[in-house]
Chain A
Amino acid sequence: MSKLFNYSAVEPWIPYIVKGLGVTLTIALVAAIFGTIIGIILVVMSKIKVADKFSIAYIDVFRGTPLILQLSMVYFAFPVLLDRVLNDIIGLNLNFELAGLVAAFITFSLNSGAYISEIIRSGINSIDPGELEAAKALGINKFNVYKDIILPIAFKNSFPSLMNEFITLIKESSIISIIGVQDLMRRQQIVTSQTYLYFEPLIIVGIVYYVVIKIFSYLARKVEVKLAYDNN
């Protein structure tokens, strides 16, 4: 057994690897929260003249480029751009270096905002137009229609897709290892560099990802069933 899987060599590193889960989940959670806020703003903007152009362009850019490029832009390119414009041209003396984790928060929130706005939009499209007509006939104003009817129903309808997006975020967040943030993936690389083992740390990281995603899928299914049962 020890020839196939060198557990004793990797064992002391397990707590270190598992600690990376906190980083991974924090990024997914922050991105899910701010992504939802950005998503709602994008949906609202898409209903307003002129602002709808921005909303379309935003979604187009974020869905049309790879996440790893977006992350590199935020972490490597924008600080340089700001430095050139504000320090070199305007003559300020500011430091624009971003912490890796902050860059991850920004990138993942911006990126998932684009996807979540599409999810919410399709949730809204699935609302029975008759209900909106009834609200109009009663004289309910647009703000209340959005707050009390459209968004709650759209949220319920899009809950499975939103959970799917959250699970995607957990997995995709692994690319932040390229900017040195110590998430699960990055810790595997560090352990590998210390122990010269690839197989064992990768298997452990794989198990952690798999188990966590299984748990979230299970919880999501539970909530989904409850939502479907509570109202329609």
Chain B
Amino acid sequence: MITIKNVYKSFGDLEVLKDISFEFTKGKTTAIIGSSGSGKSTLLRCINGLEQIQSGDILINDISTSKLNHKDLVKDVGMVFQQFNLFSNMTVLNNVMYALLKVKKMNKEDAKKLAIDALITVNVDDKINQYPRTLSGGQKQRVALARALVMKPEIMLFDEPTSALDPEMVNEVLDEIKKLTHTGLTNIIVTHEMGFAKEVADEIIYMDEGRIVEFGPAKDFFNNPKQERTKQFLNKIL
């Protein structure tokens, strides 16, 4: 599904991804964990072209993303951000409808119907005419999720989707993400929520200092880590 081949990425002199290779399987949920600055968010952002890689290749369905223009690249890739990033000048409904109108060129009625359906799914349909600033963090993130899902992506990228939330709102967002697993969608989640990763992820990747230190099925990974660095990391946070 998504093949990462010997990817290098640096910001100026700082190397953030060093020779990353990995194969994400279609329909699976993968959690990427690791301490801050390990390169996990950067890896995610390279997949949908928000960051340019220096060398190596990223293939989606066997097509090199370097050969696609950006619009075609993101056609099947949705993303949810840590800071929600809703369009502050648009209502909740318009936030969700906007890309349907402009990217899928849908007519207004169809787009509105799909958007409302998506907002019902994430349980914020009572807020459709409000502006993002009037919403709680959890509601904002669920709107952001609806905005991505309404585009019918094959791949969903989550960049620390609960890190900016108040503790009591974390679960309402995680529950929505959980519903997306085992639906055929390929999910890649960068997260600090270990319990959640353990529960929903099929596979875990542990990154440190720009490299993949260890990866494996969630159960094996948490119960039986092989690398010393993984053990130390898990000891610190569990």
Contact = CB atoms under 8 A, between A and B. Distances in A.
Contacts of B81: 130, 133-134
B24 interface: no
A134 B87 contact: yes
Contact of B98 (A128, A140, A231, A232): A140
A131 interface: yes
B86 A137 contact: no
A63 B133 CA distance: 37
Interface residues of A, number: 21
Interface string B70-91: 1100110111010111111110
A136 B70 CA distance: 8
Contacts of B79: 134, 137
A232 B89 CA distance: 6
Nearest to B91: A231
A137 B87 contact: no
A131 B99 contact: no
A141 interface: yes
B50 A136 contact: yes
Interface residues of B, number: 30
Contact of B88 (A131, A136, A137, A140): A131
A144 to B, nearest CB: 5
B131 interface: yes
Contacts of B84: 130
A137 B48 contact: yes
Interface in B19-41: none
Contacts of B78: 137
Contacts of A153: 88-89
A204 to B, nearest CB: 44
A148 B98 contact: yes
A156 B89 contact: yes
A83 to B, nearest CB: 50
Contact of B151 (A138, A148, A149, A232): A138
B102 interface: yes
A140 B89 contact: no
Nearest to B74: A139
A135 interface: yes
A231 B92 CA distance: 11
Which residue among B71, B87, B148 has the maximum number of chain A CB atoms within 10 Å of its CB? B87
Interface string A146-163: 001100110010000000
A141 B104 CA distance: 12
Contacts of A144: 102
Contacts of A141: 71, 102
Given A130-B81, A138-B147, 20 more contacts: A128-B83, A128-B85, A130-B85, A131-B88, A133-B81, A134-B144, A136-B50, A136-B74, A137-B48, A137-B77, A138-B74, A138-B98, A138-B99, A138-B151, A140-B102, A140-B103, A153-B89, A231-B89, A232-B88, A232-B131
Interface of B: 48-50, 70-71, 74-75, 77-79, 81, 83-90, 98-99, 102-103, 131-133, 144, 147-148, 151
